Amino acid sequence: MAINAAKVVLKEGKSVLLICDMQEKFAKAMFEFEKITQNSVKLVNALKLLNVPIIVSEQNPKALGKTIPELDISGVKGPFEKTQFSMCTPEINKELSTICSGKRPDSVILIGLEAHVCIENTAIDLRQSGYEVHTVADCCTSRTLEDRLLALERMKEIGCHIATSENVIFKLLADAKHKEFKNIQKLVKTPTQYTNLITLSKI
């Protein structure tokens, strides 16, 4: 099957990371949350080195708590409070429209919770708005593995690219001559935490 390779590429200056509802009160309820967190920390730290802009949302934080302290969200846009499941609120859509040097990004990298609820709803809205969406499977989860895996399959069906954290990092890095290569190399020396993605034989 022919693909448009240009749509799979991630580029500095044309990509943004959305962190969806990685909040304190979810920690004990989510499948493989600790491992998802470790992978997300590595991804966020790498993307900060690569100057990828970041937008953070929090679902009803008065009830569900703030973004987990393991994630460095200093300097990001947000956190934006929301009650709707999609991150595509008017406030976040406004940020997206100018976040890449006054322009909207070509690609959105999506991580967080829950895969079958807020992540999937966000992915649908982003695809409908014409964005290329890279859902980072080892940085997304749900309360159950079943919901997580089926959500990733559905997102693939609507045209999302199902990626892993290191896949995203190296697509953005692009070249071993990149000035941040050695710093990125230090981050990726920590192995990605296995989160049962091998089950995704159909993806």
Backbone φ and ψ of 171, nearest 5°: -65, -40
66 is an active site residue: no
CA distance 188 to 10: 18
d(CA 14, CA 68): 27
DSSP 24: G
Torsions phi, psi for 75 (to 5 deg): 80, 5
List 42, 77, 82, 171, catalytic entry: 82
* Gap between the Cα atoms of 178 and 196, Å rounded: 32
Q: What SS3 class is residue 39? A: helix
From the candidates 118, 139, 140, 160, give the one annotated as an active-site residue: 118
82 is catalytic: yes
- List the one residue out of 118, 117, 99 whose CA is nearest residue 107: 99
> Are 108 and 132 a contacting pair, CB within 8 Å?
yes
Is 21 marked active-site?
A: yes
The DSSP code sequence of 111-162 is: EEE-IIIIIHHHHHHHHHTT-EEEEEEEEEE-SSHHHHHHHHHHHHHTT-EE
Active site residues: 21, 82, 118
